[in-house]
A and B are shown apart, each in its own frame.
Chain A
Amino acid sequence: MALSDYPVTTIDRIVEETSTVYSLPLFYERLNETINHPRSSIEDISRIITEDQGLTARLLRLANSPMFGCYARVDSITKAVTIIGTQQLRDLALAASVMGVFKDIPEDLLNMSSFWQHSIACGIIARSLAVYRREANVERLFVAGMLHDVGQVVLAAARPEVSRELLETQRDIGRLYLELERERLDFDHAELGGALLKKWKIPASIGEPVAYHHNPGAAEQFRLETALVHLADIICQAMELGQGAERGVPPLDEPAWERLGLTPHMLGTVLKQSESQIAETFAILSGGVDD
């Protein structure tokens, strides 16, 4: 099949096609409005979440997981809201429901279990690095990490034949999937994922790090968050924590590394803390998908 025979492949086109199939969970928009409302109470916020039993169970398990290391048992969403915070809970809720959104991806293109393992590992490491830096609202980094490669899934769903071709080329000539994407499509999975999140009206503090995690210099508003996801992704690739479409280790962006002001020594500490959290968090989030 000649290349010209493929349907037109632009970011806008793919996002347009995909957003009708893969839409944001319904509760997300309501939750967002409620927590932004000056008159809302904790009860109002809790009520929206508890309408989804599966989500509630996953959130509570998450709140009690080692990732939070919370001091007390979180046995209700009300308590989760008070302890974790409203915006943070919203971000976690997104993370806890997004795995259920992308379904029916051909197994031979992407192993979704391995894909989400990689994504969760990236989210946890990005969050740990942010905690280490005493950043506020660290949950958005967990979500950004979880969603950073969502463009790969979108491409596999929307253009399975292009996806397959890229994967085969990567296997044959051993080049970075990322570079092959750029050559073949003129964009990469990061930009594609970012465009989808924008379409979903996900805040830019999450969307921009996803869109530029392979090109951190291009981030305009959330450079630090972008740099954190960029580094977390490279760490996961190098440590082979789960796997998406990419088989190699993408190059580290020097200015991004410098922006973080981290030392190689402390990377070991953060990684050690994060590793134990990855499996459990994956179990919580994937376990709930089928509920």
Chain B
Amino acid sequence: MTDQGISRSPEFLQERVSYLEESNQRFMLILEMLASSSEFQGDLSRAKDGEGIFKATAGQLRRLFNFASMGFLDSQDDGSFELLVADPAGARGALQVSVEARMMDGTFAWALNRNQAVLVPTESGETLLLQVVATQSRVRGMFVATLPGHLAALDAASLNALSIVLYTCAYALESTVLYGMLRDHTQHLEERVQLRTHDLEEARKQAEAASLAKSDFLANMSHEIRTPMNGVMGMTELMLQGGLTPQKEKLYLRAIKDSADSLMMIVNDILDFSKIEAGKFTLERKPFSPRDAVERCLSRLLMRAEEKGLKVRHQVGSAVPPCLVGDQGRLRQVLTNLVGNAIKFCPQGEISVDVDLVSREMDEVTLHVCITDTGIGIAEEACQRIFNQFEQADSSTTRKYGGTGLGLAICKKLVGLMDGTIWVESRLGVGSCFHFTARFLFGNEDPLPIDTDAALVPRQLRQAQLTILLADDVEINRALVQAILEPHGHQITFAENGRSALEAYTSKRFDVVLMDIQMPEMDGLQATRAIREYERDMGRGAAVPIVAMTAFAGNEDRQVCLDAGMDDYLTKPIKPGQLLQLLNKFAPHPAASDEALRGGVPTAPAPEVQPGETDGKVAVFAQNELLERLGGRPEMIPRFIGLFCKGVVPQMDGLVTALKAEDADGVRRHAHAIKGSAGNIAALRMHETAAMIEKAAKEDDLTETVRHLAVLQVEYREFTEAVDALGFVAEVK
């Protein structure tokens, strides 16, 4: 170098000096700019978005470069680039044009991969600088700038400084994007938390309200049950003390019956409600006359209305079809409830029921029913609430008017099942108008004029006369069934075991077979299977209905019966109503004359006081129960007691013998027979004790049986004494 220097001219040396000075200045400037990067970092951290970061970057670069214009292109998610900001703003258009030209000729893509400044001359006589803004992980954008002059170059040191600044810029952009994502996320999270908190708060309020309503409901219910219960217990107590005139007794009994009826109503309400809640409620689809249904329903409520001096008026619109298909029982239940409420809450005035046709589309008919009263009315805010379960308009209502608070909730659900809605319009002190709609199918046929409710009351049964085969080994059971059925004109053939039942069946045609399960020689199940087999062999088309009658009461027992080929199942002790209803179900033809039925059944005599103590224990002899079973004919009691005694003594002897032989199965069979007979004759204590012996024997446990047997014997003696005391002399044939 030194040799070269000497040989060179002073001009050359002058040039060298100025070059070195200029370079030195340049380097100092670059170092100053880089040294001031803390200010730059501050600007970057204050920037909120890409534009802010670009402005900070441009500010830093302006200290070093003489760019005519600068711009920043943002990298979009779809891979394209968009000119985000230009400095000065007026240069935006020109920059856009230059960049687009570079995109077309491939320089832009080249610059994206170069990671360093690419300088290209432009058509407008300037030099365009392109440098990618990228972190190690991804491209964030493209920095563009213009330099004056067609072939302007930047010195290497400046280009390196530019790289440093843009690298910082890229990381700032990345941080902003990540921070933005984080912020969005946090905000979103906060919103969700708020929403959720709100939901939870709502849910908590609802749960509290529901819990409150449930507590109120339980309190009401307890009150509702206690009131009639008190009536039953108080009246019973009075009657047990005795010494009452027959008129008094009748009055008390009437009170007991009323209380029991209202208890029954409450229980039915609860059962209905839980059935609907459990989704186990299905509607019938039978033809009925809507006019008839409304009239019948109102006629039952008329008496209560008249007692309060209320008028009840009804009108069924002429457009309402004469016959509909649906569940008229449920329609009447809703109507009864609403009209019943109207009567309850109406001190005076009148109640009107209007039924109109809303629409008929194809086969579907929608009815609108409106029940208007002049009652106490309902506060506006309660109008929605009263249809909720367990709620009444206000808790004082309960104390004044009673009720479970389930009635309207049941109505709402029933109406819902009938695809309808229920609502109320009301003004306090003026009255209420309950509306509901319900959908039915259009019926073409004439509805059958059956009063379905009547089927529940045996004395009003319209029943065909049936030929019945009764198989039971115990004489008293046969006699009891005979006593129940013969007044209705049914013809009964008796069989003492399964074998003779089968023989009887093969020789004659029966409408129904009543089959005891446990019988000697051939039991009821075997007999049933044999009958079914016989039917198949003989090709008899219609299988005879076979009804089991047994003291076994479990569900599995029921299934065993059905599996054997039986059609239905009755538990002992037999209840006349149930038996008759069941037979009605299997009767080939409904409807006989009313006269025949009414004539056959005398009305029950006034019940008498039960003898013996009843201090918490069951009666030795429940005379009324037996009487009911005998269709209210006290004259039949002695005969049945005679039959019972005749049958039960050998059974008790057999029990003793079996016990001595430690034959658990024998003990069980005899105890079972005693249990059945005692139940039928209403010797309730014997029934209980025999059941205990049977149960223990079934479990092969005879340890207590000796003691129980002694008790049973005492109870038998007590029974005969009680019967004697009542003046029944056992008839022994």
Bound-state CA distance A37–B107 (Å) is 26
Bound-state CA distance A146–B149 (Å) is 36
In the complex, A33 has a CB within 8 A of chain B: yes
CB contact list, A101-152 vs B, under 8 A = 131, 133-138
Contact in complex: A70, B110 (CB < 8 Å): yes
Which of B22, B106, B117, B158 is close to A85, meaning CB atoms less than 8 Å apart?
B117
In the complex, A83 has a CB within 8 A of chain B: yes
Bound-state CA distance A187–B709 (Å) is 119
Q: Which residue of B lies closest to A90 (CB)?
A: B156
Chain B nearest Cβ from A127, distance in angstroms: 12
Bound-state CA distance A85–B48 (Å) is 34
* Segment with Cβ contacts to B, from A38-46, A159-167, A191-199, A280-288: A38-46
Contact in complex: A82, B109 (CB < 8 Å): no
In the complex, B207 has a CB within 8 A of chain A: no
In the complex, B543 has a CB within 8 A of chain A: no
How many residues of chain B get a CB closer than 8 Å to chain A's CBs? 33
Instruction: Count chain B CB atoms within 10 A of each CB in A70, A71, A88 and give the residue with the most.
Output: A71
Contact in complex: A37, B155 (CB < 8 Å): yes
In the complex, B534 has a CB within 8 A of chain A: no
Given contacts A35-B156, A82-B120, A85-B116, A41 and B23 within 8 Å (CB-CB)? no
In the complex, B281 has a CB within 8 A of chain A: no
Q: Which residue of B lies closest to A72 (CB)?
A: B106
- Give 1 or 0 for each of B77-106: 1 = CB within 8 Å of chain A CB: 000000000000000000000000000011
A residues less than 8 Å from B152 (CB atoms) = 41-42
B residues less than 8 Å from A37 (CB atoms) = 19, 22-23, 155
In the complex, B118 has a CB within 8 A of chain A: yes
In the complex, A36 has a CB within 8 A of chain B: yes
Chain A nearest Cβ from B371, distance in angstroms: 82
B residues less than 8 Å from A71 (CB atoms) = 105-107, 109-110
Contact in complex: A41, B149 (CB < 8 Å): yes
Contact in complex: A134, B134 (CB < 8 Å): yes
Contact in complex: A86, B153 (CB < 8 Å): yes
In the complex, A97 has a CB within 8 A of chain B: no
- Give 1 or 0 for each of B307-336: 1 = CB within 8 Å of chain A CB: 000000000000000000000000000000
CB contact list, A69-86 vs B, under 8 A = 70-72, 78, 81-83, 85-86
Chain B nearest Cβ from A110, distance in angstroms: 32
In the complex, B157 has a CB within 8 A of chain A: yes
Contact in complex: A38, B22 (CB < 8 Å): yes
- Give 1 or 0 for each of B643-664: 1 = CB within 8 Å of chain A CB: 0000000000000000000000
CB contact list, A42-101 vs B, under 8 A = 42-45, 70-72, 78, 81-83, 85-88
- Give 1 or 0 for each of B111-133: 1 = CB within 8 Å of chain A CB: 00111111111000001000000
Bound-state CA distance A44–B155 (Å) is 12
Q: Which residue of A lies closest to B136 (CB)?
A: A134
A residues less than 8 Å from B118 (CB atoms) = 82-83, 85
Chain B nearest Cβ from A205, distance in angstroms: 11
Q: Which residue of A lies closest to B119 (CB)?
A: A82
Chain B nearest Cβ from A68, distance in angstroms: 9
Given contacts A39-B22, A41-B153, A70-B110, A136 and B163 within 8 Å (CB-CB)? yes
A residues less than 8 Å from B25 (CB atoms) = 38
Contact in complex: A38, B106 (CB < 8 Å): no
B residues less than 8 Å from A82 (CB atoms) = 118-121, 127, 151
B residues less than 8 Å from A44 (CB atoms) = 153
- Give 1 or 0 for each of B135-156: 1 = CB within 8 Å of chain A CB: 0100000000000010111111
Bound-state CA distance A41–B220 (Å) is 101
A residues less than 8 Å from B163 (CB atoms) = 136
In the complex, B159 has a CB within 8 A of chain A: yes
Instruction: Count chain A CB atoms within 10 A of each CB in B25, B106, B114, B153 and give the residue with the most.
Output: B153
Q: Which residue of A lies closest to B149 (CB)?
A: A41
Q: Which residue of B lies closest to A39 (CB)?
A: B22
Say which size band chain A's interface belongs to. Answer: 20 to 34
Contact in complex: B115, A40 (CB < 8 Å): no
Given contacts A33-B19, A71-B106, A42 and B153 within 8 Å (CB-CB)? yes
Chain A nearest Cβ from B328, distance in angstroms: 80
Contact in complex: A36, B155 (CB < 8 Å): yes
In the complex, B435 has a CB within 8 A of chain A: no
Q: Which residue of B lies closest to A78 (CB)?
A: B151
Bound-state CA distance A86–B119 (Å) is 10
Bound-state CA distance A237–B210 (Å) is 83
Instruction: Count chain B CB atoms within 10 A of each CB in A81, A85, A135 and give the residue with the most.
Output: A85
A residues less than 8 Å from B490 (CB atoms) = none
In the complex, B26 has a CB within 8 A of chain A: yes
Contact in complex: A38, B158 (CB < 8 Å): yes
Contact in complex: A87, B120 (CB < 8 Å): no
- Give 1 or 0 for each of B1-39: 1 = CB within 8 Å of chain A CB: 000000000000000000100110110000000000000
Contact in complex: A136, B155 (CB < 8 Å): no
CB contact list, A218-268 vs B, under 8 A = none
Bound-state CA distance A39–B21 (Å) is 12
Chain A nearest Cβ from B320, distance in angstroms: 83
Chain A nearest Cβ from B628, distance in angstroms: 94
- Give 1 or 0 for each of B152-181: 1 = CB within 8 Å of chain A CB: 111111110001000000000000000000
Contact in complex: A35, B155 (CB < 8 Å): yes
Chain B nearest Cβ from A133, distance in angstroms: 8
Chain A nearest Cβ from B42, distance in angstroms: 26
Contact in complex: B121, A86 (CB < 8 Å): no
Instruction: Count chain B CB atoms within 10 A of each CB in A41, A43, A134, A136 and give the residue with the most.
Output: A136
Bound-state CA distance A72–B111 (Å) is 13
Chain A nearest Cβ from B40, distance in angstroms: 19
Chain A nearest Cβ from B140, distance in angstroms: 12
Bound-state CA distance A194–B156 (Å) is 23
Bound-state CA distance A36–B157 (Å) is 7
Bound-state CA distance A196–B641 (Å) is 136
Q: Which residue of A lies closest to B105 (CB)?
A: A72
Which of B22, B116, B151, B158 is close to A43, meaning CB atoms less than 8 Å apart?
B151
Instruction: Count chain B CB atoms within 10 A of each CB in A33, A78, A87, A131 and give the residue with the most.
Output: A87
Chain A nearest Cβ from B244, distance in angstroms: 106
B residues less than 8 Å from A86 (CB atoms) = 153-154, 156, 159
28 A-B residue pairs with CB within 8 Å? A36-B23, A36-B156, A37-B22, A37-B23, A38-B22, A38-B25, A38-B26, A38-B155, A39-B22, A41-B149, A41-B152, A42-B151, A42-B152, A44-B153, A70-B110, A71-B110, A81-B153, A82-B119, A82-B127, A82-B151, A83-B110, A85-B114, A86-B156, A86-B159, A88-B116, A131-B113, A133-B136, A136-B163
Assuming A82-B151, A85-B118, A135-B115, what are 12 further A-B pairs, CB within 8 angstroms?
A33-B19, A36-B155, A38-B22, A38-B155, A42-B153, A71-B105, A71-B107, A71-B110, A82-B127, A86-B154, A134-B115, A136-B116
- Residues on B lying within 8 angstroms of A by beta carbon are 19, 22-23, 25-26, 105-107, 109-110, 113-121, 127, 134, 136, 149, 151-159, 163
